[in-house]
Amino acid sequence: MPQANIVHVNQGFHCTLSEQALPLLLGLDNSASLPLVTSIPSGWLVDAVDQLLVAAPYLNGIHLPWEQWQHEPQAQQLFDAIHGDYFSRETFWQLPVWRCGEHRVTSGKMQFEQERQLYYPVRPARPEGEVYRRYDPQIKRTLSFRVADVTQDSACLTRWMNEPRVNAFWEMAGPEQETYLRKQLDSAYCYPLIGCFDDHPFGYFEVYWAAEDRIGRHYRWQPYDRGLHMLVGEERWRGPHHIRSWLRGLTHYLFLDEPRTQRVVAEPRYDNHRLFRHLPVAGYHTLKEFDFPHKRSRLVMSERQHFFTEVGL
């Protein structure tokens, strides 16, 4: 559950959980200043700033006056993270506060793969457990992603893959998906995630480094480009508002996971028209159509700068 719930009240904002008004003061260049709010629970400030930026899309950022907030530990952590007391929306949403678990960073060392003539960075070991969690105030649900677990998720994945709607695009219907899931967990460049709303699994996603994937043979990749495959298995979590939430959240996670990642790509089948209608909400645009041996695809891409300055959460 979120620690803050910011709502419009009359001409301003109010937190229903802390029962306090948020007397925002208009600042320069479409920014706003938030005076000190006392007696706030742990985690409240990040949630509040996050929700204010969503609720007021005209705001370029939030100023927390240092003189007033200097003794509040939650504010001090934010000040230390950005070396200031003003948070532009693109700076704030690039803070790693929604990333979970142990973060395994790349070493920066390079490697050369003779067979495929690839020169690319050494990748970190895949994470474990939950990797991302954020309350989405627009749908009033907590979105999270965790690394798939064979024991916990094989049956669910099998059921999803055998849905006619899913099989039409994945073409992986079969009696069990345990072997496939183990293969993805053992991969050196890809790992599977389970998406959840309020901790209820709704979909399966694979995230990968583009250079080592088959997509890397079809465009001029950059060393830290990431890619994703997408599958929503539960009918109750379909619909444009849910797609918007998980697509933005998953893209957000990939940009947070590696600050050097400037682009996220995907290669859905060219006739997945329903998905293409929704991709722009997370900043994705089509680069080209091309052919894999087994399907014709579109290469789509979301770029970091556009995502954080124009799209947001």
255 sits in the region (left: phi over 0; alpha: psi -120 to 50; else beta) called: alpha
Annotated active-site residue in 90, 212, 258, 267: 267
Compute the distance between CA of residue 34 and CA of residue 64 in angstroms, rounded to an integer. 5
Hey, what amino acid is at 144?
Answer: S
Active-site annotation holds for 102:
no
**Could you give the angle at which helices 73-82 and 44-55 cross, rounded to 10 degrees?**
60
Phi-psi region of 78 (alpha: psi -120 to 50; beta: other; left: phi over 0): alpha
Return the bridge partners of 299, or none: 288
- Within 10 Å of residue 155's Cβ, how many Cβ atoms? 12
β 61-63/31-33 pair status: parallel
Q: Residue 15 pairs with which residues in a beta bridge?
A: 6, 20
Q: Please list the active-site residues.
A: 267
